[in-house]
Every structure is written in C-alpha cells, then in structure tokens.
Chain A
Amino acid sequence: MAPDTTAVAGGGRAATVPPGPRPGPSRRPLRRPAFYGMLFVLPATFYVLVFQLGPVLYGLVLSFSEYSPLSRTGPQFVGLENYRSLLDDPEFGRALAVTGRYVLQVLPFTVAIALCLALLSNRAFRGIGLFRTAMYVPHVVSLTAVSMIWLWIYSDQGLVNEILGFFGLSDQRWLTTESAALNAASAMRVWKALGSNMVLLLAGLQTIPRDLYEAARVDGANVWQQFRYVTLPGLRPMLTYVVAMDIIFLAQGFTEIFVLTQGGPYGSTTTVNYLIYTEAFQYNQMGSASAMAFVLFAFIAALSIIAIRGGRGRRT
C-alpha cells in the first residue's frame, strides 16, 4: 500500500507507523508475490520454450542439415550447403520476387484505400457501426473461405467475366493466365485487408487532439494542409503499425495461393511460403525448406525494419 493512502485514510496518526520491511514475520509476505509470479508464469513459459523457441532452434539446426523424414538416418550436417544452393536456385529466386511483388502491389492499395475510408467515416453519423461491421466481415471470415468465394468470382462464368461481358468485353482466364494470376490474388487480398486496416486507422485518427485542427484552421490551413501537417503526423505511429503488420502477413501468403492457383501457372504465383510447403512436404527436403524459411524470415524482418524506419523518419 502506498504510504500516502494510509495517511489520508487514517489521518495523521497512521502515517507515523513506520512503513517498509521490518525484520521477522513481515518479510515473508513481501517475497510471496514474486514466488507466485514465477508460478503463474511457469506454464506459459514452458509452452513457449518447448513449442515456439524450441522449434526455432531446431529449425536452425535443420537448415544446416540434410534431412528427409523418410530416410532411416537422422539429419546429416552439411554446413552452409543449403543456403549456398538457394543462391543459385532459380525457383527460389523467383519465389522471392513473387513474394516481394505481392507485398509491394497489395500494400499501397490496401493502405491508401483504407486511409480514405477511415477519413470518410471518422465523423459520426447514423449507421456508422453498421458500416464498420460490413467492412470488417472479410477480415473475420477465414482466408480459406473467402478464397473459395473468389475462386468462383474469377472462374470462367464468374462475377468478373459477367461484368466484363456486360460491357461487351471478352472473358479472361484470371487464375490460369501467367500475367493475371498474381494480380487476381492481390486484388482479393486488398479487399480482405481493407476492413481491419480501416478500423485501426480510424482508432489512430481518434487519438489526434481536436484542438490541433482548430489551431491549424485559425492559422489559415486548408483541408489539404490540415491533412498534411496535422493528420499525417498524428497518424504516423498507427500507419507504421498497419504497414508493418501488413508486410508481415502478406509476405507469408500461402492459403489464398493454395486455394486459388496452387502456385501456378508455371510458378507465377509460387510465393516463398508455398515453395517451402512443397519442398518440405512433397519433396521431403526438411533441411533446405528450413533454410528457405530463415531467408524468408530475414526478408520479412528487413522489409518491416524499412517500414518502421520510414515511419519514424521525416518528422515535420
């Protein structure tokens, strides 16, 4: 208990009782919380060590080994061989490029559109809750399920081709054309990520003090200047968070690829995660799959650090 509360509660006399640890029996209750703290933390710590950090270390070992679970022998240490062969593996290079392109072409759209929607819905009006709910539904429904819906939308007689037909344009094979497949998957991801980005940016907008806008208006700032000098700087922490989270999730694209295109046509939608999956569970190459996973890890970390640096710099 804080000493000043005793003083308030019991008047001046209570404060004269010396606070703090005394020798003897009163030392035990002071140590007790720490003991129980360790006890309470124990199950979670055990789980994380065994099933989160353990696998990371195990994966690191595997990435320096050659190992097929079908073989009788255990992992064979091969040093940097897995990483070296990734360097001149054209498939892996292309998967990295596909992943990078996927992140870079989904990110600007989903963030910019979400920002516009957040700005538009920042003012309260009747039905705002309904609007936010509607926008959030794609985020809640599983990626598997929405990919199934979009599988139909992109199918030969699906929604996109129907709309094109209405305008007299010819049908396209969206998921089986090399040039279109990744863009089709990207469009779906823009749609899927919009709602959660919007809600986060809306929360960010609401943390900006209103008097800043007032002050800017008094200084004669127009709408654009208010956006540029009040909204954008105030939103920067949340914007950075949204961009970093989007990068982390997009760079791990797998489910939508698995459902929509199975990595095809001709590897044009094979992301690194998809390649890792095939390498490990179709070709049983656990070692090189692990090496790929760590390269992807580094790739994601580098992208997010760039995003966070970019968000921190250029203070105006």
Chain B
Amino acid sequence: MTTLLSRPPLRRRARRWTRPIVLTVVAALVLMPFIWMISLAFTPEGQTVAGANLIPENPTLENFSVAFQAANLGRAFLNSTFVTVITVATNCVVPVIAGYAFAHLPFRGSKVLFYVLISTAAIPVSVTLVPLFLMAKNFPLAGGNDILGNGGSGLLDTVGGLLLPYLVGTLNIFLSRQYFAGMNRDFAEAARIDGASELRIFTRVYLPMARPLIALVAVFSFTGAWDDFLWPLVVSTSENSTTVQLAITTFASTGNVKYGALMAATIIVSLPVLLVFLFNQRSFISGLSDGGVKG
C-alpha cells in the first residue's frame, strides 16, 4: 500500500483506468459484428451492397417483412418453438429425476450405470448422425411405415423426427446428480420416517430447492434445441419440418445474397436466445463454470 501511495498520482490514475479501457475496447470489438448486423438489417437493400454506413441513412423496416416472406420464417418459427418447448419440458423432468436418483437413491450398479449414461456425452455427433437418420427413417408405424419400419419415410421430415436427439440431454443427468449430491440426505430420511412416498419426497422436499438447477437445465436445453443445425439439416426436407436455423441459411444459398433481409432474419432468429440469455445470465455464466469446475 505504501509503495502505491508514493507513486505519482497521474501514473496511479492511469494504471487504474488501463484495465477498464482495454476491456471496453475488447468488448466493443467483440460486439462489432452484432452492431453491423443491426445496422444492415435497417439499411435499404440497394445500399448494403455498395458499402454500408454504420448508421443507415434512410432506416427501413422493409428487410424484416422481406425476411418473413422469403424464408418462410413463420412456419420455421412455429416448428422451432414446438421442438424447443417439448425439449425443455422433457429435459426438466427425465434427466433431473434420474440425477436425483443417482445422488440420493442408490441401488446396486447405479454408479456403473451413471458412468455409462454420461459417457455418451463424449460421442461425436457424426458417429450417431447416420444411424439416427436411418432409425428415424425406419421408425415403426410412422410416416407410412409398417410395424417393422419398412415402406414409408418414418419420422423423416416431421417435427417428431426433429425431436429425436434432444429429448434427454446426458449432460443434464450429470449436472443434476452433481447438484442433488450437494444436498443434505437427512431431509429425505426424516420424511421417510414420516411415511412420505419417494415421489413426494422428491417433488416436495428436493425439487423446490433445485430451482437454479431447473433454470440451468431449461436454458441449456432451450439453446441446444433452438440453435442446432446439423440434425434439422439432415432430417428435414421440406417446409413441414424446417427450423429457424435452416430457414436463415436459405438466404445465403441463393446466388445473389440479400444481406439486409439476411441480417433481419438473423436478428429475428437470435432474439429469443438473446432474451433468455439476458434474463438468465447468472445461470448461464456461473452454471457453465460450476459444471466446468466439477467436470
């Protein structure tokens, strides 16, 4: 402290300000692509090609209506919303209750089973991509298939097919076990002696304490399902089952790219995720680092 005080005040002030200034500049650079995205989305189409200005001269909303029509975003939005809602719902129940059981209701072999289940998180998507595609295609009694899964197109190009890989996130099982393992077991013992059923103990005693966990699982499964690209690309072949991520790429694949409409569509598609992120920053950022520390 004394050495700090004996420094010349100007240098001290400079030192205090270097960090925030450097970090502000870095943050501005990192956000730059998004700033341009917003700017271009409001720039009239003709001007985006011939070198755009950061602040549009004649701001317009036209790009947004073009985006909605051209890429069939309405239908894609509906499909993505459906898939995401179901994904969040199943992930807040199935992996969470399994994680609770692994932490508090051990049975013979439960440890081994736990490691088998979570080890699947390390398998690259490409390994399961082709088999899952064929499984969706040969899904029994769907899309004109017979009971053995032959004849029709199965779950291909259906919203149900989109759901297949998201329903249970293995990392959510891991996260849930870690979370419940940190809780006291005495509550359960006491409730058991009082004659409460196991389901009641879970829903009335432990689940209310697990709100941050549920938020984290919900947020992760939301972004996972909403943002995925490869699986919808493979399983969806028409508007029936298009998703928002697929819809925005249709802009780029046509030869003459309309950048204004493209950016408008990108904003529309990213907005739900950004809103969820801004309202749940804590679970996003600390949750991620917690998982990391434990993993």
Q: Are B273 and A58 in contact (CB under 8 A)?
A: no
Q: Are B295 and A297 in contact (CB under 8 A)?
A: no
Which of A85-93, A100-108, A200-208 lies at the interface?
A200-208
Known: A34-B105, A155-B257. A52 touches B270 (CB 8 A): no
3 cross-chain pairs, A with B, having the tightest CB-CB distances, nearest first:
A37-B105, A203-B289, A142-B227
Residue A43 at the B interface, CB < 8 A?
Answer: yes
Interface string of A171-183 (1 = CB under 8 A from B): 0000000000000
A34 closest partner in B (C-beta) = B107
Residue B60 at the A interface, CB < 8 A?
Answer: no
Interface string of B117-147 (1 = CB under 8 A from A): 1001011111111111111010000000000
- Chain A residues 111 to 134 lying within 8 A of chain B, measured CB to CB, are 117, 120-121, 123, 125-127, 129-134
B169: min CB distance to chain A, Å? 10
Please give, as numbers and ranges, the residues of chain B lying within 8 Å of A153 by CB-CB distance.
33, 36
Interface string of A36-76 (1 = CB under 8 A from B): 11111101110110011111101100100000010000000
CA distance A193 to B265 in the complex (A): 23
Please give, as numbers and ranges, the residues of chain B lying within 8 Å of A44 by CB-CB distance.
94-95, 97-98, 117, 168, 173
Please give, as numbers and ranges, the residues of chain A lying within 8 Å of B278 by CB-CB distance.
133
Known: A43-B94, A140-B223. A134 touches B101 (CB 8 A): no
Residue B30 at the A interface, CB < 8 A?
Answer: yes
CA distance A167 to B124 in the complex (A): 43
CA distance A315 to B190 in the complex (A): 46
Please give, as numbers and ranges, the residues of chain B lying within 8 Å of A296 by CB-CB distance.
124, 126-127
Known: A1-B193, A34-B106. A293 touches B113 (CB 8 A): no
Please give, as numbers and ranges, the residues of chain A lying within 8 Å of B127 by CB-CB distance.
55-56, 59, 290, 293-294, 296-297
Known: A1-B190, A52-B128. A137 touches B30 (CB 8 A): yes
The main secondary structure of chain A at its interface with chain B is: helix
Q: Are B189 and A143 in contact (CB under 8 A)?
A: no
B245 closest partner in A (C-beta) = A144
Residue A146 at the B interface, CB < 8 A?
Answer: yes
Known: A41-B98, A125-B19, A157-B50. A55 touches B135 (CB 8 A): yes
Which of A10-18, A220-228, A254-262 lies at the interface?
A254-262
CA distance A19 to B123 in the complex (A): 46
Cβ contact of A62, chosen from B26, B34, B131, B290, cutoff 8 A = B131
Q: Are B266 and A145 in contact (CB under 8 A)?
A: yes
Known: A148-B251, A286-B130. A41 touches B110 (CB 8 A): yes
Q: Are A69 and B134 in contact (CB under 8 A)?
A: yes
Residue B82 at the A interface, CB < 8 A?
Answer: no
The main secondary structure of chain B at its interface with chain A is: helix
A60: min CB distance to chain B, Å? 9
Residue A83 at the B interface, CB < 8 A?
Answer: no
CA distance A76 to B110 in the complex (A): 38
Interface string of B246-260 (1 = CB under 8 A from A): 001101100001010
CA distance A7 to B175 in the complex (A): 35
Q: Are A38 and B107 in contact (CB under 8 A)?
A: yes
Please give, as numbers and ranges, the residues of chain A lying within 8 Å of B52 by CB-CB distance.
157
Q: Are A252 and B126 in contact (CB under 8 A)?
A: yes
Cβ contact of B293, chosen from A69, A142, A207, cutoff 8 A = A207
Cβ contact of B198, chosen from A32, A51, A120, cutoff 8 A = A32
- Chain A residues 272 to 306 lying within 8 A of chain B, measured CB to CB, are 272-273, 276-277, 280-281, 286, 289-290, 292-294, 296-297, 300
CA distance A290 to B123 in the complex (A): 13
Q: Are B51 and A157 in contact (CB under 8 A)?
A: yes
B49 closest partner in A (C-beta) = A157
CA distance A62 to B188 in the complex (A): 47
CA distance A194 to B123 in the complex (A): 24
Please give, as numbers and ranges, the residues of chain B lying within 8 Å of A276 by CB-CB distance.
126, 129-130
Of the A-B pairs whose beta carbons lie under 8 Å apart in the complex, a sample of 14, sorted by A's number, is A38-B101, A40-B101, A44-B168, A56-B131, A123-B19, A137-B30, A144-B229, A144-B269, A199-B288, A203-B293, A259-B249, A277-B234, A280-B133, A293-B127
Q: Are B27 and A131 in contact (CB under 8 A)?
A: yes
| Residue with the highest number of chain B CB atoms closer than 10 Å, among A48, A242, A248, A297 | A48
Please give, as numbers and ranges, the residues of chain A lying within 8 Å of B36 by CB-CB distance.
149, 152-153, 159
CA distance A159 to B52 in the complex (A): 9
Cβ contact of A196, chosen from B122, B168, B288, cutoff 8 A = B288
